[in-house]
Amino acid sequence: MSIKRFLYYLIWTLVIGGAIYLGNNYQLALEEQSETTFNIIPVLIFATIFPLLVGILLRLPKLIIDIKEKRPWTFDWVKGLAIVLPALYITILPLLSYTSVGMNLPFANEVIFFGNSLYTTTAGIVAGYVLLDSFVK
């Protein structure tokens, strides 16, 4: 039984690693394209969505195991409101900076100053992971 569990997690590690590798290559291609077209919006959209997907992928193996138990599901609203919403807010602030209200939002100047940095990427991963983690049995 432990070999099966080992292989399950190994395969997920390879899938997640491959997704991160491909996502990084795609982001680099988008950045090169934005340098020639002067359109940074596709890069910002991808930089907002990709960390969320990585967070979801990191939690997905455990969620699949939980789904197999076939018990009723609920959503932990406290965790969703206290963790997911602030993390999601930090993740989308650089994208919102290109809207008319973006610079007037709380903490916009601080987050936008750092741009697509470790702060926004980490917040996106946390938001994606905790979003799936908020579904409980």
Q: What is the DSSP letter of 75?
A: E
Residue corresponding to tokens 């988008």: 30
Residues 15 and 64 sit within 8 Å (Cβ to Cβ): no
Q: Which helix (H) or strand (E) holds 136?
A: strand 135-136
Tens-digit pLDDT profile for residues 72-113: 788 888 988 999 999 998 888 878 777 777 666 776 666 665
Q: Calculate mean pLDDT across residues 33-45.
A: 87
* pTM greater than 0.85 (yes/no): no
